[in-house]
Amino acid sequence: MKHTNTTDIVSNVFRSMLVVQIMTMLTGIVGSVVDGMVTGKYLGEDAMAAFGFTATVSLAVAIVGGIMSTGTSVVCGKSLGEGKLECTRHSFYACFSAALIVSIACALAIILFASPAAKLMGAQGELIPLAADYIRGYGIACPGIVLVAFLMPVMQMDGEMNRLMLAVAAMTVGDIAADLLNVWVFHGGMFGMALATAASYYLALLCLVPHFAKKNIIFNRPSFVFDAKTVGAMCKNGMPTAASQLGRMLLTFILNRYLMQLGGGATVSAHAVIMSAGNLCLVPGTALASSTQVISGVLSGEEDRTGITRMIRTAMRYNMIVNGACMLFFLALARPIVWMFYKGGTSAIDMTVTGFRFYVLCMIFYAVDLVFRSYCQGSGQTKKAYVITICDCFICPLLMALLLGGLFGVPAIWLCYVLGEGLTTVVMLSLFRMSNHEQHGLDAIIPFPRSFGRDIRAVYEHCLSGTGPNEVVEVSKEIGSFCADHGADNRMSNLMSLAAEEAVGNVIEHGFSDGKPHSVEVRVSKKDAEWILRVRDDCRLFDPKKYMEQYTDEDPSANIGLKLLREIASDMAYVNALKLNNLMIKVSPLSAVDP
């Protein structure tokens, strides 16, 4: 593998996506936290305890959304990385059709069985009708929750970050306003709180849906598609996320019952507050993982080892910086944050503050575990993702909770999260290191699929940040020499050199004209007997139809070099994904022969 002048364009994309992810998730989590605050302050401690019991139902809905969202992201990301745009579009709408049908079915089941569900979750006495009311209203919200979660990753692939942030902001403002109207005006109790959540998610959905009416996007031409094979692939790739949510649901269920035995309703209420406020703490780690998952799907489809390594390195760097700063912030402000969930003074505040501070300590470990799990999912390594998920979300924290609770009582139980996450991190990285004993540095702890790059014989990579034609010519010469050094005959070497010069020159001519700093990443790989040229840039996004018209213009004097590329290529695809232009040209020995 040869690298020259490699500017980290993948890290730049990751960083820009991370900022949007944090803002989007933070805005969304604020609404969830406000639900807990309003419930505790205005509806009382019993309502807050009932709210804690309904967390299992909320997680069950999240399981459905997680399968649909993550599975679709992996399936579409891989085909997008391979340049199969029509396949990507078909897969998305097949998954969307399934998500719509399943979410409606779940809503009906939740509404019909709200009371039995409240009892099953551990609610007792007067807490049963309170929990059932909230569960019933949450059923109405179910389709909106699932579909908003489903659309978020594909909006990122389409580069529509602004609309995504608008939708989440509208959802948060709507939720807060509806919560306050419920307790101040309508007095709808727990059912009204759940309806407020439902209204906010449907408001967000109204903001997202118009995007898909656009013509120059990846997921255009909306339609209902039924494809069992695609839906099966979606479920297979999304199941680790479902296992994660199921693990957390079971963990919450068991801990709530355990805490009820050890300390009664006040302890369960404290746990509900810790988990609600703790959602804020997990935003940076979840944002890092979400960015990793979307990008790793595309990079895995391209079999881009260097890009994946840069992505993981960037994620770990921002984990230490962002989560380190956030940990200090939450530790310092633990008491005022917890106080906002309680109505007046109560002895439970001190216990909850202690528990919240212990919970905050898990932030860095949580992010490491989640980033690697998301990478494994995005790259199709579902078995590894399952192992990380089971340890991280259920086995390790539960063992720690039972051990600490049995030895030291309630206060020590709150340490189960940080110790459980830390144990998962140590075991996971140790196993990855053992399987990569021949690698060094960061590569030694990054698991690649066994078939990853198996057929790739050689790789050349270069990144251009200047606008001078001399740099383009120099790179094209290097590519010609590289191809010749790895078995290409003179004609093939010259064709690959010409292809790179024409494609990169076209990007610089049209993309660098705005005067802003840009980068163009060139990658040449030999896969079996076929040569693949990938040109990626962070210039303004082109209309895919107009972009490809450059290569087929009927005017004989227009774009001569680009037309030649069309003639020699066995396959050519352009996709604007992740706010990047991506052109992939494949040249085989047969396609390179004179007609």
Amino acid type, 336: P
Domain-located, residue 592: no
pLDDT tens column, 457-497: 778 888 887 656 788 888 889 999 998 998 888 888 888 88
The C-alpha atoms of residue 355 and residue 273 are separated, in whole angstroms, by 10
- Joined together, the tokens standing for residue 227 give 């494809």
- Joined together, the tokens standing for residue 523 give 């990658």
Last residue of a domain, one of 388, 414, 445: 445
Q: Residues 439, 541: one domain?
A: no
Contacts of 501 (CB under 8 A, 6+ apart): 472, 473, 475, 476, 561
Domain-located, residue 593: no
Last residue of a domain, one of 445, 468, 489: 445
Domain-located, residue 557: yes
Per-residue CA distances from 29 to 35, 248, 275, 422 (Å): 10, 17, 12, 24
| 542-566 burial code (b ≥16 CB/10 A, e <16) | bebeebbebbeeeeeeebeebbebe
**Residue located via tokens 């997990």:** 282
Query: How many domains, the chain?
Result: 2
Regions in the chain scoring below 50 on pLDDT:
4-6, 544-545, 595
Q: In this structure, what are the phi and psi dihedrals at residue 523, rounded to the nearest 5 degrees?
A: -135, 125
Q: Residues 432, 481: one domain?
A: no
Contacts of 566 (CB under 8 A, 6+ apart): 551, 552, 572
Q: Which CATH number goes with the domain that contains 463?
A: 3.30.565.10
- In 3D, which of 245, 331, 352, 286 has the Cα closest to residue 29? 286
**Is residue 131 a contact partner of residue 112, using CB atoms and an 8 Å limit?**
no
Per-residue CA distances from 523 to 26, 59, 79, 99, 496 (Å): 36, 42, 18, 37, 11
CA atoms within 13 A on the CB side of 507: 29
Cβ neighbours, 10 Å, residue 436: 15
What is residue 138's predicted lDDT score, i.e. its pLDDT?
93
Last residue of a domain, one of 420, 445, 470: 445
The C-alpha atoms of residue 563 and residue 575 are separated, in whole angstroms, by 18
- The residue range of the domain holding 521 is 456-587
What is residue 6's predicted lDDT score, i.e. its pLDDT?
47
Q: What is the average pLDDT score of the chain?
A: 84
What is residue 549's predicted lDDT score, i.e. its pLDDT?
58
Q: What pairs with residue 532 in β-bridges?
A: 525, 586
**Is residue 243 a contact partner of residue 27, using CB atoms and an 8 Å limit?**
no
Domain-located, residue 594: no
**Residue located via tokens 């490699």:** 6
- In 3D, which of 291, 282, 309, 247 has the Cα closest to residue 453? 309
Q: Residues 38, 156: one domain?
A: yes
Q: How far apart are the first and last CA of the chain?
A: 33
Domain-located, residue 242: yes
The C-alpha atoms of residue 352 and residue 164 are separated, in whole angstroms, by 34
DSSP class of residue 320 equals I
Q: Residues 396, 487: one domain?
A: no
pLDDT tens column, 148-201: 988 988 887 777 778 888 888 898 899 989 999 999 999 999 999 999 999 999
The C-alpha atoms of residue 244 and residue 71 are separated, in whole angstroms, by 13
The C-alpha atoms of residue 405 and residue 569 are separated, in whole angstroms, by 66
What is residue 544's predicted lDDT score, i.e. its pLDDT?
47
Which run of H or E residues covers position 521? Answer: strand 520-527
Q: Residues 80, 196: one domain?
A: yes
Domain-located, residue 451: no
Q: Residues 398, 313: one domain?
A: yes
How many residues in the chain?
595
The C-alpha atoms of residue 549 and residue 403 are separated, in whole angstroms, by 66
Amino acid type, 236: K
Domain-located, residue 473: yes
Amino acid type, 42: Y
DSSP calls for 9-22: HHHHHHHHHHHHHH
The C-alpha atoms of residue 495 and residue 566 are separated, in whole angstroms, by 12
Q: Residues 97, 195: one domain?
A: yes
Q: Is 292 left (phi over 0), alpha (psi -120 to 50) or beta?
A: alpha
Q: Residues 353, 481: one domain?
A: no
The C-alpha atoms of residue 134 and residue 130 are separated, in whole angstroms, by 7
Q: Residues 394, 441: one domain?
A: yes
Q: Residues 371, 271: one domain?
A: yes
The C-alpha atoms of residue 217 and residue 530 are separated, in whole angstroms, by 29
Domain-located, residue 595: no
When computed from its CA atoms, the radius of gyration of the chain, rounded to whole angstroms, is 26
- Joined together, the tokens standing for residue 207 give 């903001």
Which run of H or E residues covers position 308? Answer: helix 305-318
Measured at the alpha carbon of residue 434, what is the angle toward residues 428 and 440, in degrees to the nearest 5? 100
Q: Residues 313, 374: one domain?
A: yes
Q: Residues 242, 339: one domain?
A: yes
The C-alpha atoms of residue 121 and residue 309 are separated, in whole angstroms, by 43
Per-residue CA distances from 287 to 14, 234, 273, 290, 294 (Å): 10, 21, 22, 5, 11
DSSP class of residue 445 equals G
